[in-house]
Structure 1
Amino acid sequence: MFSSRRWALAVLTAALAAAGCHAATPDPTPAAAPGDLPVENPAAAMLAPDTCKLGHRDGQPLPDPHCTPGAVNPAVRQDTIEDTICRTGWTKTIRPPTSKTTTMKAASARSYDLAPADKGEYDHLVSLELGGAPDDPRNLWVEPGKIPNPKDAVENKLHAAVCSGLIPLVPAQKAIAADWVTAFDTVGLRIANGKVCLRDHPTTCVTGHRGDGD
């Protein structure tokens, strides 16, 4: 026999079904926790022309944080890095085709009010080698200047630090999204003689670069 609690639940379930009500289906898309970076959404809207403004620090360009906050690939987590970003060749499997990014780059350039002739790389703010979202407009911006650019070296060194275990993944992602120019300081790293070292433990270092670039 039903207990009184089970009986009440059965009655409530039957009443809801009769009224045409159904239990909510969980959203399969992972949601970002408060303070975390947005989770990849390739359908995120491109912003209107002249909506975004470039910033600068120490002579280097920064994206508008309201337009390009960065976004992350949900497949890349601390417990999956050995099978994803730290595995050579992995980023090639997720890199969006130029047939898609060429159109996105043009729209992004208009959002930042950049002239078509302005030279720049359509860059993942959180790089693919740090688990950035491949084709979410919130993680892509036209970074003015030469190619390759100074940000590439920052990405590579952060990647080496993450894959060697010097620092965790999420702080590296947040640091480069917030301000790539100051990312080393934010996560407590220093560069010495080409090595990536912990600032508080200067003899704890890593050399080399595992995996792929942006």
Structure 2
Amino acid sequence: MIKTYRIFIALLFVLTQNAAIAGDLPDLSMTPGSIDASITQSNIQTTVCVRGYTKTVRPPVYYTNSLKKKQIADYGYADINPAHYEEDHLIPLSIGGNPSDPANLWPQPRLSEWNAEKKDILEFKLYKLVCEGTVTLDDARHQISTNWIETYKRYVK
């Protein structure tokens, strides 16, 4: 009986770990990322680098909440509780990501190792590097949209 219980717990652990890992990176066929073409390297100091810029372009909560529910189903997540996800911009608004294009939004898990909170830390780091001129806008956009976890390891850890 104890052996069966241990096997069950181990199997449950493996299954839940794989489910969490599946959402850590977006499915690039559904969420390839999308930019705001009006934001360029030459105008970042008067757009994204201006304090409060993202508040001026962020889509309304009713839009992102509705999209989050749809995308949770589209992604096939077993956990369908919207509170367990942040509808996140793959390419952040702070580096000129498209605010409302579904191709730039995905339901990012809050409850996994590589969660929305960690990505937020990376987003702020890239924002600072772009605005300081250390990393180009295009390079930051490319890196975060290709694999934000590897980009986090490069710049944050």
**Structure 1 unaligned residues grouped into runs of 5+:** 1-53, 193-214
The structure with higher relative contact order (CA 8 Å, sep 6+) is 2
Structure 2 residue identity aligned to 1:106? K
**Deviation larger for 96-105 or 155-164:** 96-105
Structure 1 runs, 4 residues or longer, greater than 2 Å off? 54-57, 189-192
1:165 to 119, 133, 143: 133
The answer for the alignment partner of 1:66 in structure 2 is 29
Seen in structure 2, the aligned counterparts of structure 1 residues 175 and 55 have a Cα distance that, compared at 3 Å, is farther
The question of 1:145 aligning with 2:110 is answered: yes
Structure 1 residue identity aligned to 2:68? K
The answer for the alignment partner of 2:86 in structure 1 is 121
The answer for the alignment partner of 1:177 in structure 2 is 145
2:62 to 99, 114, 137: 99
Do the aligned partners of 1:126 and 1:173 also contact (CA within 8 Å) in 2? yes
Do the aligned partners of 2:122 and 2:156 also contact (CA within 8 Å) in 1? no
Q: How many residues align?
A: 134
The question of 1:136 aligning with 2:104 is answered: no
Larger radius of gyration: 1
Do the aligned partners of 2:31 and 2:104 also contact (CA within 8 Å) in 1? yes
Per-residue deviation, 1:102? 1.5
* Matches of 2:67 and 2:129, distance apart in 1: 31
**Structure 2 unaligned residues grouped into runs of 5+:** 1-18
User: So what's the TM-score if we normalise by structure 2?
Assistant: 0.77
User: So what's the TM-score if we normalise by structure 1?
Assistant: 0.58
Higher strand proportion (structure 1 or 2): 1
The answer for the alignment partner of 2:15 in structure 1 is none
RMSD (Å), alpha carbons? 2.2
Alignment deviations for residues 66-111 of structure 1 (CA, whole Å, 9 cap, x no partner): 1111000011110110111100011111111012111111111111
Do the aligned partners of 2:20 and 2:109 also contact (CA within 8 Å) in 1? no
Percent identity for Structure 1 against Structure 2:
34
Per-residue deviation, 1:116? 2.7
Other structure's SS at 1:158 match: helix
2:42 to 76, 79, 102: 79
* Matches of 1:124 and 1:167, distance apart in 2: 19
Structure 1 residue identity aligned to 2:47? T
Other structure's SS at 2:88 match: strand
* Matches of 1:166 and 1:184, distance apart in 2: 16
Do the aligned partners of 1:55 and 1:63 also contact (CA within 8 Å) in 2? no
